[in-house]
Amino acid sequence: MSARRGGSRPAARARPARRERGSAPRAKKRPPLSIVRSPAHAAVRRPPRPAGVAIVTVSDTRRGLDDRSGMRATELVERAGHDVVRRAWVRDERGPIRRTVEAILRLRAVDCVIVTGGTGMASRDITPEALAPLVQRELPGFGELFRARSAEQVGAAAWFSRAMAGVAKGRLLVLLPGSTPAVELALERLLLPELPHALRLLGRFQPGA
């Protein structure tokens, strides 16, 4: 039957819009990328022996049981299967900081030195300046990645940190903030997963190193 005059007509079905000639097709959603390490990379992350790690706390007040960041660093290093071969505490002064780390770098058992404290922008934060003469080669990627990860914890204030890593007397030297969350982030997410690989590149696992 025909529709009555003046009556409503049935709604027309919407047709899909035609893609113009030459226009790019719509991008399909892709699954998030996952990091896949090659067997070769996985192999270099397995150390032939535990790494010898020294932990130095730079502070005018934190010592012994009051040094929570140093205690946490010790716990994480040992849990990862490495040895803490030296612990030291030093006040926030350039001379003592440099002399302490210099003496530790002469120890044959030390492969890596972790220094916590004194990496901010306050007037007493002088660890990077104190140890700059010992650094033979900077590894800027460590500080860059640390600040990127740190932003998840402290927001934009992450750029206040001058955390860094470098090579000193053939050893890995890592400078970290004194806060316990920052130490945990740096060790768990950056340093310890790649420590054997880094030390292998520095030749620390070679006989006689």
DSSP 8-39: PPPPPPPPPPPPPTTPPPPPPP-PPP-----H
Question: Where do the structural domains in the chain lie, given as residue ranges?
Answer: 45-201
Question: Which tens digit of pLDDT belongs to each residue from 70-80?
Answer: 999 999 999 99
Torsion sign, CA atoms 87, 91, 94, 95: negative
- CATH 3.40.980.10 assigned to domain 45-201? The reply is yes
Q: Note the pLDDT of residue 208.
A: 72
pTM of the entire structure?
A: 0.79
Tell me which DSSP letter residue 80 carries. T
Burial code (b: 16+ CB inside 10 Å, e: under 16) for 4-17 equals: eeeeeeeeeeeeee
Question: Which tens digit of pLDDT belongs to each residue from 15-53?
Answer: 555 555 554 445 444 444 344 455 656 566 678 999 999
Place of tokens 């899909």: 16
Question: Which tens digit of pLDDT belongs to each residue from 57-74?
Answer: 999 999 888 899 999 999
* Rounded-to-integer distance, Cα 62 and Cα 30, Å: 50
Radius of gyration of the chain measured on its C-alpha atoms: 27
